[in-house]
Copies of this chain bind each other. A is one copy, B any other.
Amino acid sequence: MKINMNMQRNLYKIGFVLITLLTGLFANNKAIAQKKDMLIRISEIEIYPEHLTAYKVILQEEAEASMKLEAGVVAIFPMYQKEDSTQIRIVEIYNGNKAYQSHLKTPHFLKYKTMTLKMVKALKLIDMDAIDPASMKLIFRKLKN
């Protein structure tokens, strides 16, 4: 009977250790999944020259609203090529697909999309991956100092 009690206690202990390990692993996997989940994109957009000035204003407004109002928008950084300013490039980073899907439904994005539809000559959305996800952290840490 005494041996059985000891065995039972040991089984409880083993069970506890296993649960702790599994919980740790699960939490860790979730963290990795969240990191992997980050949605990174370069949008390559060509604008008809006659619409360029108007387009830039609308894009700037949309980027600003997204950054200010959406927690899931990590960064929207609109640029244009110095040699050909009709060539727009936007680096976009969303905190996962859910954040991106909700971005698509915001009034500021819908306004941008409808207002610029006829200004866009060509559009390519290129999904990217960070070579080192930690590099983004490095940038963030640096900018914090």
Contact = CB atoms under 8 A, between A and B. Distances in A.
Nearest to A134: B64
A77 B127 contact: no
List the number of copies, as a whole number: 2
A117 interface: no
A80 interface: yes
Nearest to A131: B78
A75 B42 CA distance: 16
A59 interface: yes
Contacts of A143: 74-75, 140, 143-144
A21 interface: no
A139 B78 contact: no
Interface string A68-95: 1000001111111111010011010000
Contact of A139 (B75, B130, B135): B75
